[in-house]
Structure 1
Amino acid sequence: MDDAELYAKSSSLQQQFVNKVLQELWPALDWQCEQGTVLDVGCGAGDVTTYELLPRLPPGVSVLAVDISPAMIAKAADRFSGPRLCFRQLDIGTPRIEETDVWRLGPFPKVFSFFCLHWVQDQRLALQNIGKLLSPGGETVLIIVTGSPIYMMFETLSKSSRWSAYMMDYRQFEPPYVRTEDPVAVLTKYLHEAGFSVKTCRNEDSSYSSTDEQKVKNTITAINPFVGRIPQQQREAFLQDCVAEAYSNGTIRADTLPGGTVYSFPYSAMFAHAVKVHRVSRATSYSSNLHSNHTAGH
């Protein structure tokens, strides 16, 4: 099973949390313009876009969903492309956003990003790019992972003699906020710097739970960036070591309840709703001042 296929089968965690966040934030979003195209950044295999975002949109609004991975885009396009949903490749962390196809298709009235931005180490650049892709007054809704025991699992495995060669850069895959005391304050600061007015920004401890142990195992495998590096003949042994360490350090928890065993994967995530502030250019400001002075003189 390739990474995109596994990811497609393991999106329950994301759907669970996105559903909760969108239920809370959706009433605050402005849908005066009920036509056009919104952007979904980091769509993966397309499940969250298709099942959580698209059904909530006004009928005249379509989605352009983007991801850094060509394999994910190919999988998503094969499964979900339609009249209101199309897919393109984009790295939201590129320093040359103005040179991309997606830039030429904008600007967009809304930019959504669910469980994607924690992969981008340069948060300032990613948020500035989102700001550039938005229309003036446009809105963004973001969900960003801030922590989980899974990152301690990566650190432990990176120090094992068997796997260290494949995981020397494990810190590059930690969320930028994982060692931050107040992630909300940091994200809020970055959003302000990128030209946003922040309406909501909150960090929450959460947990994905299932009575199906394999679903939880699949979830931690799908978001494990090192699996693809391990030689095929050693991959099963690597995954077994991951699961053993996951149980050992609390990445996977098993609780015996009257109805059976519930397996859970704890994590924390921030969600934010922000509006791109209208910026009046000097030329426009000068022109309007002239107009108001002229009007006042009559």
Structure 2
Amino acid sequence: MAPWDGSEYRKVNGLQHWLADRAMSELDLDGVHSLLDVGCGDGRITATIADRLPGATVIGIDPSPRMVSVAPSSDAVSFLVGDVCSMTFDGAFDVVVSFNALHWVLDQHGALTRIASALRRPGRALLVLVCAGERPSLEHTATRVAGAESWRRYFTDFSVPFAHPTPTAWAEMVSDCGLTASDTVVDDLSWDFVSTDAFAAWCTVGFGAWTERLPSDCIGPFVADVIRAYEATTGSSQILRFLQLRARLEKASTVGRSH
């Protein structure tokens, strides 16, 4: 996974904050003494949660050092550089949250297993991620453009850097990883960036897995090609559409499904 730049992310993160705020409105924190935010990004959402939990242990973890470096310093919250699939918080948290980060984790099974392990009983999780649907995603479009004749020389041995599971497949993984779903919702959402330039700026920050392979003078043209190709999906050069899966989970009493 390409490291995200926290300083650049802060300039374009309105969508991510809107999505997190939307999910947090449903977050019940009564009786919570410890919380982990997986894929905390620049830490703004984690700090907001910590403000609602005075005296609690609140930790944000993110694989990008450049994201964690811009996280707000506070006695109320701690930030760590780390990967969800290798974290070792065993039975440490009442709640685990993740807002629009897990679809960048290829090992979904490993991520869910470690999240389940991090929860104490009766712990719960609120996880939000992009899932698969019939409509091509922006990330799928970027990968298709990367395979075009004008770009493919830069993408030899390129591996898809994202995971958009179907809701059904993801629900099966949840059960296999020591969690039970109390509620799962899939929303078809859209975000208007107001201008093509603003959409391109957001893509430039989020396309690190693609653009890290390109010469600097090719990044802008590549992003422009992706937006033009994606316009066939949305009918606009400034609108993003995506399916968002939002799941409330609980730590299961036993791991795995009965057969």
The interval holding the TM-score normalised by the smaller chain is 0.7 to 0.9
The secondary structure found in structure 2 opposite 1:172 is coil
- 1:229 paired with 2:213, answer yes
Distance 1:4 1:45 in 2: 6
Structure 2: give runs of 5+ residues left out of the alignment. none
Of 241, 244, 252, the residue aligned with 1:269 is 244
Find the counterpart in structure 2 of residue 219 from structure 1.
202
Instruction: Give the C-alpha shift of residue 263 in structure 1.
Output: 3.1
Find the counterpart in structure 2 of residue 188 from structure 1.
171
Find the counterpart in structure 1 of residue 6 from structure 2.
4
Partners of 1:11 and 1:47 within 8 A in 2: no
Give the number of the structure whose alpha-carbon radius of gyration is greater. 1
Distance 1:110 1:165 in 2: 45
Structure in which a larger fraction of residues adopt helix:
1
Structure 1: give runs of 5+ residues left out of the alignment. 178-182, 256-261, 281-298
Of 83, 89, 101, the residue aligned with 2:81 is 89
What is the TM-score when the length of structure 2 is the normalising length?
Answer: 0.84
Find the counterpart in structure 1 of residue 41 from structure 2.
44
State the AA in 1 paired with 2:104: W
Moved more, 189-198 or 242-251: 242-251
Q: Which runs of 4+ in 1 moved over 4 A?
A: 251-255
Distance 1:11 1:142 in 2: 19
Of 133, 143, 147, the residue aligned with 1:159 is 147
Find the counterpart in structure 2 of residue 294 from structure 1.
none
The secondary structure found in structure 1 opposite 2:95 is strand
Instruction: Give the C-alpha shift of residue 192 in structure 1.
Output: 1.4
What is the TM-score when the length of structure 1 is the normalising length?
Answer: 0.74
Find the counterpart in structure 2 of residue 64 from structure 1.
59
Distance 2:231 2:157 in 1: 22
Distance 2:73 2:197 in 1: 29
Return closer, same or farther for 1:37/1:30 CA change in 2, 3 Å cut-off: closer
* Equivalent residue pairs, number: 248
Instruction: Give the C-alpha shift of residue 130 in structure 1.
Output: 0.4
Compute the RMSD of aligned alpha carbons.
2.7
Partners of 1:13 and 1:219 within 8 A in 2: no
Distance 1:228 1:210 in 2: 24
Return closer, same or farther for 1:159/1:125 CA change in 2, 3 Å cut-off: same
